[in-house]
Chains A and B, each alone.
Chain A
Amino acid sequence: MVLEEVEREFSLGKKDAADGIPTYYCPGENLFPLMEKLKKDFEVLLDITAVDYLGKKEKRFEVVYHLLSLSGKMRVRVKVEVGEGEKIATLSSLWKNANWLEREVYDMFGIEFEGHPDLRRILLYPEFEGHPLRKDYPLKKSQPRIKLLRPERK
């Protein structure tokens, strides 16, 4: 199985999560080669997302990748720790949907992906300032695009 192979090659430590999906922490510079290897067995990139550990961890963000192996009927989770202002490698040359998924992470967290062909906002609009899923973005801070007839909140 490719998992044992990459464990040895990249000397990854395995962690078991509550849901039984094998979880690996991977240093940022190894991400692309690791994913390239994993792709042999894990054909589908399910999801890319991030978590903001503001003030809880040394490096602020964790980018979380979920992969699915259709042949082996299993999933794997890979995490990369990213500090504020750091960039990580894009996977858009490996999986086509990585393009949009990474744009979403960029939009929501402001994490930049190096080498991404088209890194711009996807869910929000270009005028929007800040990144809403960061823990320091207030829940109710809206940024209207047009002049409103009345203030939104009292």
Chain B
Amino acid sequence: MKGENFVTTTVESLIGWARKYSIFQYPFVTACCGMEYMAAAASHFDIDRFGAGLTRFTPRQADVLFVVGTISHKLAPVLRRVYEQMTEPKWVVAFGTCTVTGGLYDNYATVQGIDAIIPVDIYIPGCPPRPETVLDALIKLQEKIRKEKQKWSLRK
């Protein structure tokens, strides 16, 4: 094979690399953090540069669930339903302190951290997090996706 350019890799890492840059996200936007989510998605900060620009507005087509903003107990069943509707593989990002711990709202109405409802992969602190923090978290998530044991199969 002299003079040829070639790459060797495992299927595993190839899939990891591909998945990392094709994040279809489902934004579950409820509150103030949505403002910064909008800012991160719009042209100024442009989340598209990192391969996560495509928002899917149905959980069935999404890989990453962005939970943006406070989740109240009234909304909790809805969030869990949305999560259950997503197909594998799926990841969850908790965006803002409200989703991480309940944040400012330590009271009867608010869920104290969405990991009481669904499993979470990445936590973004901040109230609201600045778009730079969001991009940083996205890169961390991509790293995580790349390194993970990939679930795949050729058979149905």
Contact = CB atoms under 8 A, between A and B. Distances in A.
Direct contact between the two chains A and B in their complex (CB within 8 A): yes
Interface of A: 124-125, 132, 137-146, 148-153
Contacts of B77: 145-146
28 contacts: A124-B74, A124-B109, A125-B74, A139-B107, A139-B108, A140-B107, A140-B108, A141-B108, A142-B73, A142-B108, A142-B109, A142-B110, A142-B111, A142-B112, A144-B73, A144-B76, A144-B111, A145-B73, A145-B77, A146-B77, A146-B117, A148-B116, A149-B118, A150-B115, A151-B116, A152-B102, A152-B112, A152-B116
Nearest to B74: A125
* Size range of the chain B interface in the assembly: 10 to 19
B76 A145 contact: yes
Contacts of B111: 142, 144, 152
A124 B102 CA distance: 18
Interface in B95-120: 102, 106-113, 115-119
B80 interface: yes
A151 B116 CA distance: 7
A140 B106 CA distance: 7
Contact of B73 (A137, A140, A143, A149): A143
Contact of A125 (B73, B113, B115, B117): B73
A143 B72 CA distance: 11
Contact of A149 (B74, B106, B115): B115
Contacts of A153: 112
A124 B109 CA distance: 8
Contacts of A138: 108
B116 A137 contact: no
A144 B77 CA distance: 9
A94 to B, nearest CB: 30
A153 B116 CA distance: 10
Interface string B5-28: 000000000000000000000000
A144 B102 CA distance: 14
Given A144-B76, A145-B76, A146-B117, 16 more contacts: A125-B74, A132-B108, A132-B109, A137-B108, A138-B108, A140-B106, A142-B73, A142-B107, A142-B110, A142-B111, A142-B112, A146-B77, A150-B115, A152-B102, A152-B112, A153-B112
Contacts of A141: 108
Nearest to A130: B108
Interface in B54-111: 73-74, 76-77, 80, 102, 106-111
B107 A150 contact: no
Contacts of A142: 73, 107-112
Contacts of B118: 149
Nearest to B111: A152
B47 to A, nearest CB: 29
A146 B108 contact: no
Contacts of B73: 125, 142-145
